[in-house]
């Protein structure tokens, strides 16, 4: 069963959910895991693609947009639809809804920031996963 982790920026913490997604991707990649970031809007995907190059001065997270990079050589992929279907280790969800394909992943990461709309959508997803019987973990990020 997929492990579901919610990462929530603490009150007073800097950044937003995109920066938090970059931090999660960096850590998962550092642990040798492949990552698929679900960014359903093209502008969001492009913004995240740029941010992964710049979010931390000393960081390098090899990444690319699905359809513009070779997945075999790219351990962190940004996708709008869950493709490629062969990815199954870590999914970072930036969609307001529950991705239909999340259950094939070992781990699902849900980054949330201070935006009320993002928080409310996160609460709705939390309830969905809980009602489906998934064990949920909450991480407050400073």
Tens digit of each residue's pLDDT (9 = 90 or more) over 25-79: 999 999 999 999 999 999 999 999 999 999 988 888 999 999 999 999 999 999 9
- Domains and their CATH numbers in the chain: 3-141 (3.40.50.10110)
- Indicate the pTM of the whole model: 0.97
Question: Could you tell me the sign of the dihedral formed by the alpha carbons of 129, 4, 76, 21, in that order?
Answer: positive
Tens digit of each residue's pLDDT (9 = 90 or more) over 76-118: 999 999 999 999 999 999 999 999 999 999 999 999 999 999 9
pLDDT of amino acid 31? 97
Neighbours of 48 (CB within 10 A): 23
């Amino acid at each position: 069963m997929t492990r579901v982790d919610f990462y929530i920026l603490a009150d007073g913490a800097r950044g937003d959910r995109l920066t938090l997604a970059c931090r999660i991707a960096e850590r998962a990649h550092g642990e040798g895991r492949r990552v698929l970031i679900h960014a359903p809007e093209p502008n969001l995907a492009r913004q995240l693609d740029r941010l992964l190059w710049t979010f931390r001065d000393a960081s390098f997270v090899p990444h690319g947009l699905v359809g513009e990079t070779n997945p075999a050589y790219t351990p962190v992929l940004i996708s709008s639809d869950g493709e490629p279907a062969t990815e199954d280790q870590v999914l970072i969800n930036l969609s307001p809804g529950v991705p239909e394909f999340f259950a094939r992943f070992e781990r699902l990461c849900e980054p949330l920031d201070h935006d009320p709309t993002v928080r409310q959508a996160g609460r709705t997803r939390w309830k969905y996963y809980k009602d489906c019987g998934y064990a949920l973990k909450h991480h407050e990020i400073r």
